[in-house]
Amino acid sequence: MKILLQFPEGLKQKALEHAVMLEKEGNEIFISASPTFGACDLAIDEAKNIGAEKLIHFGHAEFHKVDFNVEYIDYRYDAPMDKLPESLRFLDKFKTIGLMTTIQHIHQLDDVKKFYEDNGKKVIIGKPYGFAKKTGQILGCDIGSAASIDREVEALVYFGGGLFHPLGALLHTKKPFLLVEPFNNTVEFLDRYRDIYARKSRGRVIASLDVKKVGILVSTKNGQHNMSLAKVLKSKLEKEGISTGILVANTFDFESINNMMEFDAFVNTACPRIAVDDTDRTIKPLLSANEIMEVIKLRNERKELRKITSNHNQ
C-alpha cells in the first residue's frame, strides 16, 4: 500500500523509524515534510497528489470525519507523577477539583484522579462537547472538558506538558486554575493570564474602532476552514461601511500578511488560537470573530451617543 506519514514537530524525529518499519511490511512509504498543527491539519492534499491510498497521522486523535482513509496514532506516553504531592499544597483549601489533560496522557487520568481522591479530594472529570473525543481531554481549540465542569468545582487542575493546552482552558473558565507540569517540574496557578489576555483583547478592540478596511483570514485546512463565518462577518462589516477582503491560505505567513498594508485590521476565522497566540506577529490588530463583533457594537453605541449629544445641543 502507498502510505503518507504525517508527524507533528515534536515527533518528526521518529519519522524515518516508522517509515522503515512500514516499508519492511511491504508498503511504499512517503513522509510529509509540512508542519502540522493537529488533526485539524491533515495532509490530505499531499496524500492525494502522490497517489497515496492512506494517510497515517501521528500524535493526535481523530478531530472530525474526512473523506479519505486516515489512521490516527495518538502516541500516548507516561508523564512522571512526582509533582502531584507538591500540588496538594496549592490545593489545600479546595475540596472539589476538576481534572483534565491531553490525549498523550489521557490513559493516566484515572491514576491522577485516584491520587487526589486518596488525599481527600472530590474529583470531577468533564466530558468534551466539541472535537475532543475522550473524557477529560482538552485540545487547544476545544476546552469542553474544562468548561463543562467549571461551575461544579472549586478549582481546575491540568496535568501535562506546556502552556498551550491549559491556556485555552484557562481563558474559558473562571475558577482557580492549577498547572501541574511533569516535564518542567512546575506547579503553579495560571490565573494571572486571564487578566493579561483580557487587557490585550480590550486593547485590540479599542484600537480597531476606526477601521475602514478589514482582511478576513480563511484557512483551507480541512479542520479549520470556515468560509461561512467569513461571509457572515464580511456582510456585517460592509453594512457598517467597512470595506473587507477575504484572505485565503493554508498556513498563514504573518510576514506576508504584514505586507498587506492597506488593511487596518485582520479578523481570524481559522484556528481560534491564532487570535490568542499570534496577535503580536501582525503590525495591525488581529481580532477574533467575537472581538470584531464587539468593535461593531461599540461603533454603533458611539453613533447613538453622538446622535443624542447632537440632538441635545440643538
- pLDDT tens string 172-194: 999 999 999 999 999 999 999 99
User: For 34-43, what is the mean pLDDT?
Assistant: 91
Considering 139, 164, 190, which residue would you say is the last residue of a domain? Answer: 190
pTM of the entire structure? 0.88
Q: What gap in Å lies between CA 40 and CA 131, rounded to an integer?
A: 9
Please give the average per-residue pLDDT across 194-212, as a whole number.
96
Residue 309 in any domain: the answer is: no
User: Number of folded domains in the chain?
Assistant: 3
**Are 163 and 218 within one domain?**
no
Last residue of a domain, one of 190, 213, 237: 190
Cα–Cα distance measured from residue 170 to residue 124, given in angstroms and rounded to the nearest whole number: 17
Q: Say yes or no to pLDDT of 229 above 70.
A: yes
Residue 47: pLDDT band with limits 50, 70, 90: very high
Asked if residue 310 is part of any domain, the answer here is no
151: β partners: none
Q: What percent of the chain has pLDDT over 90?
A: 83
- Phi, psi (degrees; rounded to nearest 5) at 268: -95, 130
Backbone angles phi, psi at 198, to 5 degrees: -65, -40
Within a domain: 45: yes
Residue 107 lies in a domain: yes
Cβ contacts of 67 within 8 Å, gap of 6 or more: none
- Is residue 79 assigned to a domain? no
* pLDDT exceeds cutoff 70 at 163: yes
Cell (9 digits) for 175: 475558577
Quick check: helix, strand or coil at residue 58?
strand
Average confidence (pLDDT) over 263-270: 97
Within a domain: 271:
yes
Boundaries of domain holding 43: 2-73
**142 falls within a domain:** yes
Q: Is residue 278 part of a domain?
A: yes
